[in-house]
Amino acid sequence: MTAYEYILRLRDQASSTLRDVARSAGIADNKIDQVDAGLKRANTTTSTWSKSLNTLKRVAVTAFAGIGISLFTSQVIDARQEY
């Protein structure tokens, strides 16, 4: 085997290895993109749930405040009637 043939063989082996590395990097890149997309979906879902819970909290606070005012007014009316 001549030096030229040896260099060509090394080049072919290196090219094959580099192609494998590039393919692996591409697969890893695709997996990272999938994970990133999943995290973005999870973030959107969490944000939606947070907004829904905040709305529910406001409704509950308003309802309890309304009930409290109603009970207070009823007690004031009862106290006036007794007086």
Integer Cα distance of 17 and 24 in angstroms: 11
Q: Is 1 helix (H, G, I), strand (E, B) or coil?
A: coil
Q: Is 56 helix (H, G, I), strand (E, B) or coil?
A: helix
pTM of the predicted model as reported, rounded to 2 decimal places: 0.51
Confidence of residue 64 (pLDDT cuts 50, 70, 90): very high
pLDDT at 12: 76
Express each pLDDT in 15-45 by its tens digit. Answer: 777 788 888 888 888 888 899 999 999 999 9
pLDDT at 45: 92
Q: Which of 5-9, 53-57, 70-74 has the lowest mean pLDDT?
A: 5-9
